[in-house]
A and B are shown apart, each in its own frame.
Chain A
Amino acid sequence: MSSAMPGRRSLSGARVMLYAVLCVFAVIYLTPLYVMLTTSFKSLEEIHQGNMLALPEQWTVTPWLDAWSGACIGLECNGVHGYFFNSISIVVPAVLISGLLGAFNGYVLTKWRFRGHKIVFGLILFSCFIPFQIVLLPMARVLGILQVANSTTGLVLVHVVYGIGFTTLFFRNFYESFPNELVRAAQLDGAGFFTLFFRILLPSSIPIIVVTVIWQFTNVWNDFLFGVSFSSGDSAPITVALNNLVNSSTGVKAYNVNMAAAMIAAVPTLIVYVLAGKYFLRGLMSGSVKG
């Protein structure tokens, strides 16, 4: 039986090669993560012994506690936790507002079309192709005028403005294929502009909401350039704090603390991927419209 199966035979040939190559790449890809994790649980003495790939002989969480609330960034020695919450207070409103605005844009651009809707969409889309560097100076000026420079509010604004292009693109393309008959049925039932959006379209938008949240969350959370340009001191996001932590350590470099801080900075995006992925349900629309 076994020798006659073509699937079996190919497994012993090219397939083994393929898996081997994939495994090699996976190891290459995961090694830095492994080093980071193990280093963050080692003491400095152990690190100085030089065996980077070894597991910790003496597991310790002190570097993590230090990174969270003791390490010195600039002049203050309170760890990264304040900046972590800065990032949270930037990313949550930025994702919510840009997502909601994008959803509204998509809704209007597909279901309440007006003369010139294509041009408007084209212009919004164009904003996706503007490099960060180009907007730095004008944005600094605008933040200054609005008196939100060097604050998390200012960064929220920057990320909302920058994100709208993408969120609009996502939602417009999603709503483009949302059946117009559903909209018409709801209108006959007496639903107005907002009811239609919140009761009919939005509950059917979970797949695209998930995509938008993942996209926006990772972009905003991982942003360094805007953060370093438009914030200072206490209002900096964690990416900037991490950079300052690594660069400002005087004397010996506390690799274990740096690694722990980097892990802390990476955890929220990982959580978003894991949680949101679970809700990434396909075929949610099945059954509403036939044919």
Chain B
Amino acid sequence: MSFLHINNIKKRFGDTTVLKGIDIAIEKGDFLVLVGPSGCGKSTLLNMIAGLDSISEGELLLNGERINELHPARRDIAMVFQSYALYPSMTVAGNIGFGLEMRKVPKAQRREAIQKVARMLQIESLLDRKPGQLSGGQRQRVAMGRALVRDPQLFLFDEPLSNLDAKLRVDMRTEIKQLHQRLNTTIVYVTHDQIEAMTLATRIAVMRAGELQQLGTPQEVYDDPSNLFVAGFMGSPSMNLLRADIVRHEGVLHARVRKRNEDVLMLPIERDAEALAGWEGREVILGIRPEAITDPASAHHDGRIFEAELEVELVEPTGADMYVVTHLGGREINARMRPGTDISAGTPTRFAFDVSRMVAFDPDSEARIRHT
């Protein structure tokens, strides 16, 4: 029995179906991150878990108990809103304590709980201020304090860091992760940020247009995407997706990719070979992460490396890495190389492909081609 079970949940607004049957189950202590393009229904799903939106169809189980009809205040769930939603007329202490006050917690006990949370979030000196007198980061902390003080069974976060500047966002991300580990809370978290999703989650749910595309650990979603959408959505810079033909060459299955000059590059198939055998003679879409294409010297030799010479079109140093753009399979391809490598545009260079990390997709259904 899982802790939070979202069982085939649907949401309709009038005639439009916004969620088309979502199935997710997580355990106590899990950190579930919902990602997906804008408008795919992440906030709607979160609001339904909170009880702020009604559930059109399906079942919501918390701790084995059906909570579809339970009033939001009685679900033992706290939520941190994107806008923070601090009560403007109350002090910080009033904001944090409001939920306890509504639950008729005695004043002394309330004050103690507020103090404890304020200490944990380092906002003790702000308790007497009004929200209008706080910075963005401080407001964010107060909003978290308001959720934490109630010690609920489940926390919901709707893009809590999206209003902060880049530096603060990284700091708060670390703090949220520490908080999660320290308190061992269960969290459902919505974000647009790839890195937030990867670093915070124990499980990621990728959504598109009201449908769940994949649910898995961050590594699973990253390395083993279940379809073309997930492959393209997760990761930054995103996975290289190129057209290739599956052919048998000297008895071994290969992906044949066209270079710019009508030459072909033959990449041996390492992964999902059984499933791809059925695709011999047909076209697939090949997915290779930028970090699986490197300069030969920095290639991981525990993978299966295949080297080829290609012409460099563009070099983009970022400091930590150097992204090298070349042309393959009718597409621009991003490769991640060691910074300081002596590479310049227009020259032929050796690229090392880690073919053990290559995945393939059905060009029509966009589903991953793999052994089932």
Binding site for B on A (CB under 8 A): 179, 181-182, 184-191, 195, 199-200, 203-204, 284-291
Within 8 A of A (CB), among B124-147: 130-134, 136, 139, 146
Bound CA–CA A222/B60 (angstroms): 59
Bound CA–CA A291/B85 (angstroms): 11
Kindly identify which residue among B47, B78, B81, B133 contacts A287, using a CB–CB cutoff of 8 Å. B133
- The answer to whether B170 has its CB under 8 Å from any CB of chain A is no
Q: Are B85 and A204 in contact (CB under 8 A)?
A: no
Q: Are A286 and B72 in contact (CB under 8 A)?
A: no
Q: Which residues of A contact B86 (CB under 8 A)?
A: 287-289
Q: Are A188 and B52 in contact (CB under 8 A)?
A: yes
Per DSSP, are chain A's interface residues mostly helix, strand or loop, or mixed? helix
Instruction: Give min CB distance, B235 to chain A, whole Å.
Output: 27
Kindly identify which residue among A181, A190, A191, A284 contacts B85, using a CB–CB cutoff of 8 Å. A181
Q: Are B163 and A182 in contact (CB under 8 A)?
A: no
* Contact of A184 with B139 at beta-carbon distance under 8 Å, contacts A287-B131, A288-B87 already known: no
Q: Are A291 and B83 in contact (CB under 8 A)?
A: yes
Question: Apart from A181-B82, A184-B47, A288-B85, what 16 extra A-B contacts exist at CB < 8 Å?
Answer: A184-B81, A185-B85, A188-B50, A188-B51, A189-B73, A189-B98, A189-B102, A191-B73, A284-B88, A286-B88, A287-B86, A288-B87, A289-B84, A289-B86, A290-B136, A291-B82
Binding site for A on B (CB under 8 A): 47, 50-52, 72-73, 77-79, 81-90, 98-99, 102-103, 130-134, 136, 139, 146, 150, 163
Q: Which residues of A contact B146 (CB under 8 A)?
A: 185, 189
Q: Are B83 and A204 in contact (CB under 8 A)?
A: no
Smallest Cβ-Cβ distance to A290: which chain B residue = B163
Number of A-B contacts (CB under 8 A): 88
Bound CA–CA A96/B258 (angstroms): 80
Kindly identify which residue among B87, B88, B90, B102 contacts A190, using a CB–CB cutoff of 8 Å. B102
Q: Which residues of B contact A185 (CB under 8 A)?
A: 79, 81, 85, 87, 146
Bound CA–CA A181/B80 (angstroms): 10
Q: Are A190 and B73 in contact (CB under 8 A)?
A: yes
Q: Are A184 and B52 in contact (CB under 8 A)?
A: yes
Q: Which residues of A contact B134 (CB under 8 A)?
A: 287
Q: Which residues of A contact B47 (CB under 8 A)?
A: 184
Q: Which residues of B contact A186 (CB under 8 A)?
A: 87, 98
Q: Which residues of A contact B133 (CB under 8 A)?
A: 287
Q: Which residues of A contact B51 (CB under 8 A)?
A: 188
Kindly identify which residue among B77, B84, B87 contacts A188, using a CB–CB cutoff of 8 Å. B77
* Contact of A288 with B131 at beta-carbon distance under 8 Å, contacts A186-B87, A189-B73, A190-B103 already known: yes
Bound CA–CA A267/B83 (angstroms): 45
Instruction: Give min CB distance, B169 to chain A, whole Å.
Output: 14
Q: Are B84 and A189 in contact (CB under 8 A)?
A: no
Bound CA–CA A187/B75 (angstroms): 11
Smallest Cβ-Cβ distance to B162: which chain A residue = A291
Q: Which residues of B contact A182 (CB under 8 A)?
A: 85, 87-88
Q: Which residues of A contact B98 (CB under 8 A)?
A: 186, 189, 191, 199
Bound CA–CA A191/B98 (angstroms): 9
Q: Which residues of B contact A288 (CB under 8 A)?
A: 84-88, 131-132
Most chain A beta-carbon neighbours within 10 Å: one of B47, B50, B98, B163: B98
Q: Which residues of B contact A286 (CB under 8 A)?
A: 88, 132
Q: Which residues of B contact A190 (CB under 8 A)?
A: 73, 99, 102-103
* Contact of A181 with B132 at beta-carbon distance under 8 Å, contacts A190-B102, A290-B163 already known: no
Instruction: Give min CB distance, B127 to chain A, whole Å.
Output: 15
Q: Are B102 and A195 in contact (CB under 8 A)?
A: yes
Q: Which residues of A contact B84 (CB under 8 A)?
A: 288-290
Bound CA–CA A184/B52 (angstroms): 7
Bound CA–CA A269/B134 (angstroms): 38
Bound CA–CA A26/B186 (angstroms): 68
Instruction: Give min CB distance, A151 to chain B, whole Å.
Output: 38
Q: Are A204 and B139 in contact (CB under 8 A)?
A: no
Q: Are B89 and A289 in contact (CB under 8 A)?
A: no
Instruction: Give min CB distance, B276 to chain A, whole Å.
Output: 47
* Contact of A204 with B99 at beta-carbon distance under 8 Å, contacts A190-B73, A289-B83 already known: no
Q: Which residues of B contact A187 (CB under 8 A)?
A: 52, 72-73
Q: Which residues of B contact A188 (CB under 8 A)?
A: 50-52, 72-73, 77-79, 99
Bound CA–CA A179/B316 (angstroms): 43
Q: Are A181 and B87 in contact (CB under 8 A)?
A: no
Q: Are A184 and B102 in contact (CB under 8 A)?
A: no
Smallest Cβ-Cβ distance to B104: which chain A residue = A190
A-B contact pairs, 17 of them (CB 8 A): A181-B85, A184-B79, A185-B146, A187-B72, A188-B77, A190-B73, A191-B102, A203-B90, A204-B88, A284-B88, A286-B88, A287-B88, A287-B130, A287-B134, A288-B85, A288-B87, A291-B163
Bound CA–CA A279/B8 (angstroms): 53
Instruction: Give min CB distance, B14 to chain A, whole Å.
Output: 12
Q: Which residues of A contact B78 (CB under 8 A)?
A: 188
Q: Which residues of B contact A184 (CB under 8 A)?
A: 47, 50, 52, 79, 81, 85
